[in-house]
């Protein structure tokens, strides 16, 4: 008897591309990715604009501040791009980080509500709309079909109450049955070798 380790045949090509093809990507995941991509676009445009402004007003002797701003801007944009890719491919770490960011955006919007009349009508509308969009993104990423997309359903009991068992969420632990599994593990199938 020979033991072969491989992915399920119809899914092998897509899994090698890094996606989660065993489950169809729900529309809410696509919408959450679009919101995150728009946030990335906004951050990119505002960072480039800020750096261009700094380059015009920075004295020639203070180039270290400009270099620091450029490195920080590139890192911020790179992290945003990794979050967009992570959501698209089903990364639990990306989902948790985006949930943290969306929760923070909603909380900061709620905390700013008492002071909204001092910032003007257009800015108030923009802030409330942004908080609502991020709240919707938070809701979408916590729906049961999103949890299936991110592989948060326990293979032993089917519960979606999970937590990370490793730092980067490669291994998950079920809160219901305490089962631990590796999200990236390949299936092992016993096959008889025929001559």
pLDDT tens-digit series, residues 128-185: 888 888 898 899 889 988 888 888 888 888 888 888 888 888 888 999 999 998 877 6
Q: What is the pLDDT of residues 26-77, one digit of tens each?
A: 888 888 888 888 888 888 888 888 777 777 776 665 677 777 777 888 888 8
Sheet strands (E) in 6-124: none
32-71 b/e with 16+ CB inside 10 Å = b?
bbebbbebbeebeeebeeebeeeeeebeeeeeeeeeebee
Is the pLDDT confidence value at 8 over 60? no
Q: Where are the domains of the chain?
A: 24-145
Q: What is the pLDDT of residue 60?
A: 63
Tell me which residue has tokens 């728009």: 38
């Amino acid at each position: 008897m020979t033991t072969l380790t491989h992915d399920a045949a119809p899914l092998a090509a897509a899994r090698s591309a890094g996606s989660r093809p065993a489950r169809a990507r729900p529309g809410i995941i696509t919408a959450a990715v679009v919101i995150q991509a728009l946030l990335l676009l906004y951050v990119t445009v505002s960072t480039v604009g800020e750096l261009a402004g700094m380059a015009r007003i920075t004295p020639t002797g203070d180039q270290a501040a400009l270099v620091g701003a450029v490195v920080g801007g590139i890192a911020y944009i790179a992290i945003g791009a990794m979050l967009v890719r992570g959501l698209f491919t089903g990364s639990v770490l990306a989902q948790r980080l985006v949930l943290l960011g969306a929760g923070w955006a909603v909380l900061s919007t709620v905390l700013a509500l008492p002071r909204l009349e001092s910032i003007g009508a257009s800015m108030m509308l923009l802030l409330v709309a942004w908080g609502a969009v991020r709240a919707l993104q938070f809701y979408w990423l916590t729906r049961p079909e999103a949890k299936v997309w991110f592989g948060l359903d326990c293979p032993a009991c089917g519960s979606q109450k999970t937590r990370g068992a490793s730092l980067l969420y490669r291994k998950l632990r079920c809160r219901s049955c305490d089962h631990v599994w590796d999200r990236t593990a390949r299936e092992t199938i016993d096959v008889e070798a025929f001559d």
